[in-house]
Structure 1
């Protein structure tokens, strides 16, 4: 199979020095630690690298091995770009359409909903692009294309998660995040990234002790502290909205002037 556009010269020199084809063994030593999709995609690229090595196509073997390494390290690896291969005239249309369908499925949550078929679809698209560039083995082109379509047919979008709530508690007259608060926020941020939430609402409260205006300001500071901690853990600011409740609509209604731990909090509500 032909080499990836842009590294052909390097690959040729590499072959002359008998240095190509060495990336596969390196890739095998890297342990993927990401999502189920990442693990499956890593395995797919290792298989493609092994196949190309067996075909003595060391340049493409290295290409797939490097993609496996990037996936294992947690780097985002997109399906092969349309301009990354020198495709024969008349073949771009089907491949461009296939890439658009694949990209749309991955963006809609197929990585989470169907991680193994999604990984298979991406690897087989890359395989199809590579084989089509070479354009010498019709059976290989057909195999990659057929496997791509089979995997695409198995994709399911990620089911939208049910809303989730977390409660971050504070000491009296404080907006300081203690260890327990930090752990709760860390769990919330992890759920945002893993479960596919899109919206985060923060509700800041105080108990009824103290002045109403002061309590409103304190509740705002508490919500801001939680917001900052979520952002520091990767939750985008654009997804977060704050609502200051102060001492009104409390989780545990009390009379005025009552110190109540369960009302000194910020509620984090996550929704699709």
Structure 2
């Protein structure tokens, strides 16, 4: 039941169309298992869907019937829609040596995984965010974090990623992964986070 957000959007849109033929509307949970509510109306009445996997059918005459479907049946009915969904976003974290744009050796394999993930997607949007620890002046850390992000951006573009699909920003020491006092060298804060969508 991965990625049902697109299905939910599609099904909600179906509610706002005039029923021409029998329509099936299914309320699906999000990735965290939560559901909202959906009011399905037809000429013959209305039904509130507020439980996961609950469904409503609107017949040719506008009559509305409800019931529940299991996951296997949903997968069968919506196989085409499920297959058309884009891959879920993936985040990669790369760590850097103190005060430099040089990757830690442990991050080099992660960089290759990042490139393979981007290359495997037909249309990727990549957000690269650089960070630093609290050693050094705020302005210097802003500059260094952006340089780290730009370093990864340059790598991806050099490997063929379209420039307009990749953005790099620096956050300096503003979003510490590990909270520390000022002037503390924390390796986990010297990082670049890459979100691939």
TM-score interval, smaller chain: 0.5 to 0.7
Which of 181-190 and 158-167 deviates more? 181-190
Aligned to 2:190: 264
| Cα drift, residue 268 of structure 1 | 0.4
8 Å Cα contact 2:147-2:170 kept in structure 1: no
| Cα drift, residue 210 of structure 1 | 0.8
Taking a change above 3 Å as real, the CA distance of residues 182 and 211 of structure 1, as seen in their structure-2 partners, is: same
Question: CA separation in 2, counterparts of 1:237 and 1:206?
Answer: 24
8 Å Cα contact 2:132-2:144 kept in structure 1: yes
Taking a change above 3 Å as real, the CA distance of residues 163 and 155 of structure 1, as seen in their structure-2 partners, is: closer
Within the alignment, does 1:232 sit opposite 2:158 as a pair?
A: yes
* TM-score, with structure 2 as normaliser: 0.55
Computing the radius of gyration from Cα coordinates, the structure with the larger value is 1
Question: CA separation in 1, counterparts of 2:107 and 2:123?
Answer: 21
Aligned to 1:208: 134
Question: CA separation in 2, counterparts of 1:233 and 1:180?
Answer: 21
8 Å Cα contact 1:168-1:265 kept in structure 2: yes
| Cα drift, residue 235 of structure 1 | 1.7
Higher strand share goes to which structure?
Answer: 2
* Per-residue Cα deviation, 1:191-235 (whole angstroms, up to 9, x for no partner): 112134521001100000111111111111111111111112222
Aligned to 1:171: 97
Taking a change above 3 Å as real, the CA distance of residues 225 and 263 of structure 1, as seen in their structure-2 partners, is: same
Matched position secondary structure for 1:246: coil
1:193 to 119, 126, 132: 119
8 Å Cα contact 1:185-1:230 kept in structure 2: no
Question: CA separation in 1, counterparts of 2:168 and 2:100?
Answer: 18
Higher helix share goes to which structure?
Answer: 1
Aligned residues: 118
Question: CA separation in 1, counterparts of 2:104 and 2:174?
Answer: 24
Q: Equivalent residues in 2 for 1:75-154 (5 A)? A: none
Question: CA separation in 1, counterparts of 2:135 and 2:110?
Answer: 25
Task: Note the residue ranges of structure 1 that are not aligned, 5 or more in a row.
Answer: 1-153
